[in-house]
Amino acid sequence: MPSFDPWVWVSALLTLAIFSFLYKDNPFYKIAEHIFVGATNGYAVTFYWHNVLVPRLFNPLFQGHQLWYIIPLTIGILYFTRFIPKISWLVRIPIGITIGYFTGIAIPAGIEASIIKQVGGTLLTSENFARWNAGPLGIVWSIILFIGVLCVVSYFYFSKEHKGVLKVTSGIGIIFIMIGFGAAFGYTVMARVSLLIGRLQFLLGPWLGIIR
């Protein structure tokens, strides 16, 4: 039996409106898109106000009298200077702080996670052989991985044309990359299908009551 809950109907009709884009752009899709964007923005503003600005900034500053909170407040306010043309250059201060701060975090983290850990995991050592949990085959897998990593890195070497040895290694590298992408593709498609199943279950279950 179809649902009598009006919110379920709103939800189902909006889902169908979004799905209608598969046919072509149409007014229903436009309505759903604008509601979606508007609602999420409204939600975000409220969320940041109630969960970030008030409890994390205004309360400690104005009620708790923790004066050093003026510093982040000032930096944040500088973002709004771009509305005043004469001092709009001040917006570069918070941007510079933000990018500098996050780049500082990102570079060491990137070197640790994407280089040092990966190099450690690629070495042909007994620890890595054992990680495959495949007995003697672990050695074979480790060697394949080792060759794959060297060849893929050579593909991303930009200082030389892909000629001679580099042509061979980068050729092998691109094969490894494509195998990796193929696996990722299949894996991700399965995840997307599960999202679709989730929506269909909603339409056929809570909305139409065809499945339970």
Partner 1 sequence: MLNGAFIILLISTLSPPENVRALKIINNDSISITIGWDKSKDNARVENYEIYRSKYTLLKTLVQDTIFIDQNIKSENYYLYDVVKKEKIKEYNGQKNFLKVVSIGYQIIKDTISKRNIIKWKRPNDLYLGEIYEIWRVDKNDNYELIGSVSKEKNSFRDSLIKDGAKYFYKVSAVTGTEQSFSTPSEPLFTIGIPKFLFAQDIPNDEGEGFRIIWEPSPNYDMIKSYALLRLVYDSIAGFKDTFSYTDTTLKPGINYHYYIGKNYQIIMPAKIVADSIGMTGRVIKLEWKLNPKVVGQNYDLTLIYRAEKDSANNFQYVDYTAPDEEKFLDGTAEPNKEYIYEARAVKERAIPFSIERDTVIENKRMVSLSWKGSKEPPEFLGYYVNRTEKDSGNYGIYARLGTQVNTYRDRIGIFNNVPYAYRIVAITKDGEKISSETTPYVTASPQWFHLGRINALIGIAIFIFFVVFFIEYTRKGRQDIFVRRIAGLSAIDEAVGRATEMGRPILYVPGTSVIDDVATIASLNILAEVAKKTAQYNTPLIVPNRDPIVYTVAREVVKESYNKVGRPDAFNPDSVYFVTDSQFAYAAAISGIMIREKPATNFLVGMFWAESLIMAESGASTGAIQIAGTDAVTQLPFFITSCDYTLIGEELYAASAYISRNPTLLAALKSQDYSKLVIVMVLVIATILALLNFGIPIFNFFNIQ
Question: What is the number of H-type helices and E-type strands within the chain?
Answer: 8, 0
Strand residue runs (E) in the chain: none
Q: How far is the CB of 106 from partner 1 (least distance, A)?
A: 5
User: What separation in angstroms does the CA of 155 have from each of 102, 112, 117, 120, 165?
Assistant: 29, 22, 20, 20, 11
Give whichever of 103 and 211 is closer to partner 1, judged by the CB atom.
103
Q: How far is the CB of 1 from partner 1 (least distance, A)?
A: 26
Q: How far is the CB of 87 from partner 1 (least distance, A)?
A: 14
Give whichever of 5 and 25 is closer to partner 1, judged by the CB atom.
25
User: What separation in angstroms does the CA of 1 have from each of 187, 198, 201, 208?
Assistant: 35, 19, 14, 6
Give whichever of 1 and 190 is closer to partner 1, judged by the CB atom.
190
Q: Report the alpha-carbon distance of residue 107 to residue 103 in Å, rounded.
A: 6
> CA torsion sign, 53 to 54 to 60 to 65?
positive
Q: How far is the CB of 201 from partner 1 (least distance, A)?
A: 18
Give whichever of 2 and 80 is closer to partner 1, judged by the CB atom.
80
Q: Report the alpha-carbon distance of residue 122 to residue 202 in Å, rounded.
A: 45
Q: How far is the CB of 81 from partner 1 (least distance, A)?
A: 11
Give whichever of 137 and 210 is closer to partner 1, judged by the CB atom.
137
Helix, strand, or coil (residue 164): coil
